[in-house]
Structure formats: C-alpha cells, structure tokens
Amino acid sequence: MRKKFVMLFLLLIVLSIMLFAQASVKDIIITPTKPSSLAVQVWTDRALGATYYQGESIHIYFKTSQNAYVTIYDYTPEGIVRILFPNFFQRDNYVRGGEVYVIPNPSYNYSLVVSGQNGREIIEAVASTLPNVLPPTPKIKSRPFAEVPNGLDFMKSLKIKIVGKLIAVATTYFYVGYVPQSAVVTFTSKPSGASLVVDGIYEGKTPQSVQLAVGNHLAVFRYNDRIISKSFTVHAGVYQTVSAVFTYYSSTSKTKISVATEPYGALVFVNGQMLGVTPCSLKLEPGTYEFTILKPGYHTLVKSVTVKDYPLILNFSLDLIEAYTY
C-alpha cells in the first residue's frame, strides 16, 4: 500500500497577515552575502504562487549547477520549520549537478498530500559545496520529516551561521485552499539597475513592477557590493512603490569605525544596509547614521551614531531574550 504523508499548512485566511507580521519573511528568507558560482533551483509541479487544495498531491523539484550538499526547509505559516530533504527515505543530501531531484522520489513508496487550513507555505533550498549546513536526520519512520525546535530562531541563526560562506539559496511558495488577492508593487532604486529579489525570487533589474499577493514580503536590492533589504506589506488593490537608495562616499572622506558586541557574531546594519558581522571595521563619511545590531536570541539594538573625521570605536552589549540551541 502506498503511504501518504500529509504536509500541514496551518493558517486561517483571517490570521495570515497578522501571523506573518509577527514572523516576518525577513527572518525566513536567506540572502547570500557573497557571490557564488554555485546555483540552486527549487519549484513545485505548479507555477510559482499557485493554489493547492486539500487532498491534492504535491511534488517538489530541485537541482544544482554543480555537485553539492542540499537542505530543503519547509516553513509553515505558524512558525514550524520542517526539513523536507534529506528525509527518512531520501537520507543522502549530496546531489549531482544538473540532475533534477524530486520529493517524493518515485523509487520510494510514499507521497505528499496537501492538508490542513488555508495559508502560504515557503520552501527554501540551501546548497553548498561543503557539508557545513547539515539538518538533523529523521530517525523514526512514522515521522519522516525532521521538525526543527524553535523554528524561527533556527532560521535567524542559520542566516548568521552562513554569512560570508559560498552558498546558493532558492525559494518558492504556494497557497493552500484559496487564491489570494493581490496588488502591483513598483520597485525603484538610486541609481537604477539594482538586482531585485522579492521573497527569495529574482525579479530582474530596477525599475520593476511585480504583482504580489496580499501579506508581508521582503525585497532585497543589490548594487555592486551593497545590499539593502526592505520589508513591506501588500494590501488588496493598493498600489505602492518600494525604493532603495545606494549612497557611496569618496575614499578621501571616509572615517574608520570599529564595531564590537558582547557577545560577538551580531549583524550590523547601517541605514538599512548590512555591512558586517561583529567584530568588524567599517568606513563611513562624517554624518549621523542609524545602526541596527541584530543577533537571534537577543534584543535588537537601534542606535543613532554620529561619525566625525576621526576613528570611532563602538561597543554594544546585547541583552539575552532566551537561550536556545540549534
């Protein structure tokens, strides 16, 4: 008898926007900070953003540009993180470049069936040529897909863990039980021509207009070596513009800023741009900036810092929220 394993998509339509506001996609979507020759793709057996209804089967496909280790995370609307690959049946996550893989694999006697309440499901594939991001392996056949404790904290930690590493990331998503309302969002940048990624999907160069479903979204603009992230919410039928301004400074006017935190390993954002991981050194021209210091499990710090024409040392102490491991 063919076994069916139900993917749970637990979110009521009326709660979707509220819950996604609490668990923002900016904490879920991983954006590589270092260019890599490795590429990964992930998709389902329907178009991006398609609707699946309860009781329907689903297949998830992926491939890499070269031999790599791949982990595929399933982020449910209520904040649960499951690992779809590797799993109890497909335990080896080392894949061959250019070959298409599918979950469930037809060689094994199981299937995936959509069930549960309505909502949006995010699937994220992370690939590396080194086995440096390994998920726990399921041990019991009755639970073939490993569930990660403290799912949202895990995703935040994973983003920091792989900063600066040569990885590739791909994302897809779909809706369960309903067709969402949508609106058009226009993305611009100064200068224009920035690469635009929305919810982990490459959309082209700015300016760009994209039709998006109602709810919380994340846009990442990249121009040369600079990255700006913007979180925004789409409302039905409401047109909006999301913009990013890339400011460059002449080399003769830069001031060196040393940034340290206790504990170390925090992300440093300056005016919305991620510029380093503590301890780190930055160079900015004199002026006033908004520094945001972020580390999972700790309260986020937002400080206004005035930079003058002499070196500056910044030390920040982070307050623990709760201890967790991954």
DSSP letters spanning 39-100? -EEEEESS-TT-EE-TT-B--EEEEESSSEEEEEEEE-TTS-EEEEES-SSS---EE-TT--
The tens-digit pLDDT sequence of the chain (326 residues) is 455 554 433 333 333 333 333 456 777 787 776 667 899 999 999 999 999 998 899 999 999 999 999 999 988 777 788 899 998 888 889 999 999 999 998 888 888 888 777 888 899 999 998 876 666 665 666 678 888 877 777 787 777 777 667 789 999 999 988 899 999 999 999 999 999 999 989 999 999 999 999 988 999 998 887 888 888 999 998 999 999 988 754 445 688 999 999 999 888 988 777 788 899 999 888 888 889 898 888 888 888 898 888 889 999 999 887 544 43
* Rg (the chain; Cα; Å): 21
The whole-model pTM stands at 0.71
Give the span between the Cα atoms of 285 and 265, in whole angstroms: 25
Give the span between the Cα atoms of 27 and 238, in whole angstroms: 25
Tokens 């002026």 sit on residue: 287
- Residue 134 is predicted with a pLDDT of 61
Tokens 């300056």 sit on residue: 270
Give the span between the Cα atoms of 276 and 284, in whole angstroms: 13
Do 77 and 120 form a contact (C-beta atoms < 8 A)?
yes
Do 29 and 66 form a contact (C-beta atoms < 8 A)?
no
Give the span between the Cα atoms of 33 and 260, in whole angstroms: 20
